[in-house]
């Protein structure tokens, strides 16, 4: 099947029920998206599918064949980090960083539809992303301060 990921077209042979996350990590070696819960509730595996932050662990790869997928690897352009990535660095918005790629993806989706979210809107949008190190105050600050 043909997949559109990070501006590239990949033609790969995988079972249709394979998860998008396994396809990215195992078949395409795009390992920035992480496996956490495997049940769609922790946010570590989130990627953009047609601009929507989507849990790739519970998304069958066949369902994204005609959609544009963007992973954490696809956010930086022309050697420059995406503003959300830069803001996470500037605010030191992580500890172990296992959750970071999913956090960044959710924040990018939020900022794309709402460039100046309120504190409550950030909380609502990020509720699906869990940080076990509890870096939430710095994550909130990074998303608030990110220039988009
Ligand atoms: Fe997909 Fe947790 S690993 S939501």
Rounded to the nearest whole angstrom, what is the distance from the C-alpha of residue 121 to the centroid of ligand 1? 22
| 10: Cα within 13 Å, side-chain hemisphere | 23
- Does the predicted interface ipTM exceed a cut of 0.95? yes
Provide the mean pLDDT of the chain. 97
What domains are there in the chain, each with its CATH number? Answer: 2-74 (3.10.20.30), 83-145 (1.10.150.120)
Rounded to 5°, the CA angle 144-57-24 comes to: 90
The residues that bridge with 112 in the sheet, in sequence order, are none
**Residue 125: pLDDT above 70?**
yes
User: Is any atom of ligand 1 closer than 6 Å to the C-beta of 103?
Assistant: no
pTM of the full structure: 0.96
Q: Which atom of ligand 1 is nearest to the CA of 34?
A: 3
Rounded to the nearest whole angstrom, what is the distance from the C-alpha of residue 67 to the centroid of ligand 1? 20
């Amino acid at each position: 099947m043909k997949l559109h990921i990070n501006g590239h077209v990949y033609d790969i042979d995988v079972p249709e029920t394979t998860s998008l996350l396994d396809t990215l990590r195992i078949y395409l070696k795009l390992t920035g998206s992480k496996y956490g819960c495997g049940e769609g509730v922790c946010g570590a595996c989130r990627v953009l599918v047609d601009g929507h932050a989507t849990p790739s662990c519970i998304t069958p790869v066949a369902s994204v064949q005609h959609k544009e997928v963007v992973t954490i690897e696809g956010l930086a352009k022309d050697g420059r980090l995406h503003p959300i990535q830069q803001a996470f660095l500037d605010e030191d918005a992580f500890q172990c960083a296992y959750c970071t790629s999913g956090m960044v993806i959710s924040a990018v989706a939020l900022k794309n539809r709402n460039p100046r979210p309120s504190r409550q809107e950030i909380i609502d949008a990020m509720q699906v992303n869990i940080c076990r190190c509890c870096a939430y105050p710095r994550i909130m600050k990074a998303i608030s301060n990110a220039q988009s």
